[in-house]
A and B are shown apart, each in its own frame.
Chain A
Amino acid sequence: MPLTPPITDLEQLKNHPAVARLLAWNAAAVEGVKFDRDEMTVYVERGSVREACVRLKDDPACPFNFLSDVTCVDWYPSEPRFEVVYHLLSIPKKERVRLKVRLDSAGPAVESVTSVWPGANYFEREVFDLFGIRFTGHPCLRRILMPEDWEGHPLRKDYPVEGYR
C-alpha cells in the first residue's frame, strides 16, 4: 500500500458520514478536513466540540456512539500550540473518525465531553495531568497519573525528558 498524498479538499470528502453530518448541522464548525492513510480527520472549531460530538453520536445513519480515545499533541513553539484529539468509533457501522481541536498556548481550555460519554472522564483527566489543558464542565478535573503536588505537565514539549532535577 504505497502512500498517496492526503486529501484536504472539503468538496471531495463531504460524503463521509461524519463530515456530512457536521456540515448539515453547522458548516461553520468544520474548520478543515483531512483524509490520510485511510483515516478521516475533521478539524472542529474549538467552541463546538461537545455539540459536534452530540450530533455525531445521535446520527441515525452512522452513529459514532463510542469514544475510543482522547489525547493531545503539543506543537510547541508554533501557534496554535495544542491539538486535542478525539477518536470516535461507530460500533454498528465499524467506522472511525478523528476530531481535532486546536488550542492556543494561553490558558488552553475546551469543553468537556463527559456529558456525552461518561467514559471521557479518565482520558480528559490524563490530558489535563500531562498537558495542562482544562476541560470545562468536567466533574472532577484532578491529576490522575502524576502525584497531586507535581509541578508542570510532563508531556509538554518544553518539559525535559529527564525531568527537572
Chain B
Amino acid sequence: MAHLTSTPVVEPGQDRTMILNMGPQHPSTHGVLRVILEIDGENVVRLMPDIGFLHTGIEKTCEAKFYQQVVPLTDRIDYLCPLTNNLCYVLAVEKLLGLEIPPKAQWLRVLLNELTRINSHLVWLGTHAMDIGALTVFLYCFREREEILRMFEMVSGQRMMTSYFRVGGIALEPPLGFFDRVRDFAGYFPEKVDEYENLLTGNPIWMMRTKGVARMTAEDAIALGATGPTLRGSGVDIDLRRDMPYSGYENFKFKVPVSQEGDVFARYICRVQELRESVEIIRQALDGMPEGPIKADAPHVVLPDREKMKTQMESLIYHFKIITEGFAVPAGEVYQAVESPRGEMGYYIVSDGTAKPYRVHMRAACFANLQTLAKMCEGRLLADVVAAIGSIDIVLGEIDR
C-alpha cells in the first residue's frame, strides 16, 4: 500500500483535459512502468513516467559483497542482456586491478556479447511489433531467440542469468561443438532478419504507425542523455564499441547504423541493421578466435582450475583465500562504459582497498532514455505513446535497479 501515497498529484491543467493512468500492469509498458497522461481528447498534453516499482537496492547490496560475488547480481539488472552487464562490471574491476586479459577471453566475451545483443534486440523487435499490432513477428523472433538461449545454456548452464564472466577471464572453456553451433546460427540468421523485414519494413500499416511518429531531434536527444539506438536514430553517430573500444573491439570491422529522421521507424531501422552487424562481428570472432588461456595469470584474483586445486597445495590455498576473504582491490575509482543493446551501460566503482567495493553505481541506459518519452509524445496522439515506449526499448529492471 506504500505506493498509494507515492502517487504524484496531477491536476488537469484546463477544464477540457483529463488524467489517464497507464500501467504499472499494462502489457505495452514492458514491465512495471506507470505513465500518467494528461489528455485532451486523443492528444497527449503532458506525460509523466512513474518508476521505482522494481527497485531492489542492488547498488546497496553490492557494497556488502566480495567483488566476485557481485557478478551474479549484475545479471539481474538488465535481464535481457546479462552478459553485457557481466562484461561491464568485470572490465571495471579489471581496470581497478590493472589486470591484463588474455586475447581468447576477450574474443569470447565479444562473441557472447554480440549474441546477447541479438537476443535482446529480438525480444525488443517481437514485443515492439506486437504492441503495434503485428503479432506474427513476435513468434518468429522468439523462435531464433530460443536457439540463442540454448547456446547460453550450453556455455554457462543457464538460459538467462548466465554469470559467465569472471574478474580476470571467463568461468569455463566453452564446450565442444559450441563454436560449430554459433557458426551454424550465424549462417542462417541473416535470412531470418530478411524474414522480419519482409513482414515489417515495407508494410504500409507498419510505416503509418512508425514513420514521422515520436520524433526527436539530435539536440534534444543529447540534452536528455539518450544513448544507443535511441540517439543514433536521431542522427548522432556514436557507438562506444567503435569510438572508445573495450575488450578488443578495436580488432573488429563493423558499421554503425545511423538514421537521420529521429522517429520510431528510424530507431527500428537502426536496431534491425545492428542485428546484421552483430552477425558480422560474430563471424569475425569465430574466424579469428585466438588460442590460449581463458583466464589471466593472477592467482590472487582468479580461481585455480579444479584439477590443480585438487593436486597442488598452492592452488588450494589460493582457492580457499579467494572464497573466504575475497581479493583486495587497490584503492581508486573507475568509470567503465560499454555499448549495451540499449545504449551506454556504465559502472562506476569506488574501491577503498578492501575486498568489498565501497560503492558500485550503475549508469543504466534506459534510465536516461526514458526521459525522452515526454519529449516524444507530448502533442501527439495517445496511440503513439505505445509505439514510442516500444521504440525506446526499455527494461524496467535496469531502470529501477
Contact = CB atoms under 8 A, between A and B. Distances in A.
Interface stretch (B103-111, B183-191, B261-269, B344-352): B344-352
Contact of B346 (A36, A68, A154, A161): A68
A148 B98 contact: no
Nearest to B101: A1
Chain A residues touching B, range? 35 or more
B287 interface: no
Given A69-B346, A69-B363, A149-B5, A119 B371 contact: yes
Interface in B189-210: none
Given A3-B330, A87-B335, A87-B363, A149 B346 contact: no
A69 B348 contact: yes
A154 B62 CA distance: 13
Interface in A47-67: 65-67
A73 to B, nearest CB: 5
B332 interface: yes
Nearest to B218: A91
A3 B98 contact: yes
A51 B370 CA distance: 27
A119 B6 contact: no
A165 B121 CA distance: 41
Contacts of B223: 117-119
Contact of B243 (A67, A94, A147): A94
Contact of B225 (A41, A67, A94): A67
Contact of B236 (A91, A155, A161): A91
B5 A148 contact: yes
B302 to A, nearest CB: 16
A145 B100 contact: no
Given A37-B96, A87-B348, A143 B6 contact: yes
A155 B350 CA distance: 14
Interface string B35-65: 0000000000000000110010101110110
Contacts of B7: 148
Contacts of A7: none
A94 B337 CA distance: 12
Contact of B6 (A41, A65, A98, A149): A149
B52 A144 contact: yes
A150 B346 CA distance: 27
B68 to A, nearest CB: 18
B368 interface: yes
Nearest to A96: B335
A79 interface: no
A151 B13 CA distance: 31
Given A3-B330, A69-B361, A39 B2 contact: no
Contact of B52 (A1, A119, A147): A147
B371 A68 contact: no
Interface of A: 1-3, 6, 36-37, 39, 41, 65-69, 71, 73-74, 85, 87, 91, 94, 96, 98, 117-123, 126, 130, 142-150, 154-155, 159, 161
Query: 8 closest A-B pairs (Cβ-Cβ)?
Result: A119-B225, A3-B98, A148-B6, A69-B363, A145-B52, A119-B224, A145-B55, A147-B2
30 contacts: A36-B332, A37-B332, A37-B334, A39-B333, A39-B334, A66-B222, A68-B335, A68-B346, A69-B361, A73-B350, A73-B358, A87-B335, A96-B335, A117-B223, A117-B225, A118-B223, A119-B226, A119-B368, A120-B225, A123-B368, A130-B59, A145-B55, A146-B52, A147-B2, A147-B3, A148-B6, A154-B57, A155-B59, A159-B60, A161-B60
